Amino acid sequence: MSTPRFAFVAAESEEAEAARRRLETRYETVPHGEAEIIVALGGDGLMLETLHGSIERGTPIYGMNRGTVGFLMNIFQEDDLPARLARAEQVTVHPLRMKAWCAGGGAVQEALAINEVSLLREARQAAWIRISVDGTVRLEELICDGVLLATPAGSTAYNFSAHGPIVPIGAHLLALTPISAFRPRRWRGALLRNTATVTFEVLDPNKRPVSATADYTEVRNVSRVEVHEDPNVSLHLLFDPEHNLEQRIIREQFQP
């Protein structure tokens, strides 16, 4: 196996920075623009940030956990890194594209989300949101703290905390999950094909303001949000064969 050229990025924590300094002393690296692989040292937050930064070039990202959760990261180990990179397995994901209209005729803003797009109430009163799928109204009125649409890669994050389903990689599904729904009380969300376009309409944006967030890009005071998976954007994650993402997602579904 040929050794791929690689570069490091690290989270701002001392643990991650110390690991980067040791690894850069130990291994030959190249400038980021020449790297065939970016090795990210941190947690899932850094992985998302690094993936967003790699959209233009499409450079695969291999993460090693120097953060907290690290669901998208491999086990941190300093030995035999070139060999690990050479045999790593690639998972390709497509992000969600959010288009948000601001209340009062403000600018339309777009952003990409690898994990989820979430709508959240901004004030003390619950949000009122109408939900359409592919142009058909499926929920006339959702009274809630919020609602989110998650990718399979993000289904174990905020979506799971909101009691949404874990979606296997390759299932070609998106998870639509309410957050603290008041009406309808029994609605627990839906699984949608990854080709669906979901439209959220904020029914009273002045009295009940709502924000929309695509990963870490937030748009305040929205009136309408459209979300769909963008098949033209591909992001590549690398995992050790014995610790691949698909198996992790399956195991997560059987945790007590």
Q: So which residues are the catalytic ones?
A: 44
Report the C-alpha gap between 22 and 81 in whole angstroms.
12
**Structure tokens, 222:** 């929205």
Enter the tokens of residue 87.
């045999």
116-121 and 108-113 as β-strands: parallel, antiparallel, unpaired?
A: unpaired
**Could you write out the DSSP letters of every residue in 178-221?**
EES--BSTT---EEEETT-EEEEEES-TTTS-EEEEETTEEE-S
Closest CA to 54 of 246, 244, 243, 238: 238
- Cβ contact 141:125 at 8 Å: no
Buried b (16+ CB within 10 A) or exposed e, 73-101: bbebeeeebbebbeebeebebbbbbbbbb
Q: How far apart are CA 244 and CA 234, in angstroms?
A: 18
Tokens of 240: 């050790």
- Could you tell me if 74 and 89 are in contact, meaning their C-beta atoms sit under 8 angstroms apart? no
CB contact at 8 A, 253 and 246: no
Measured from the Cβ of residue 140, the count of other Cβ atoms closer than 10 Å reads 10
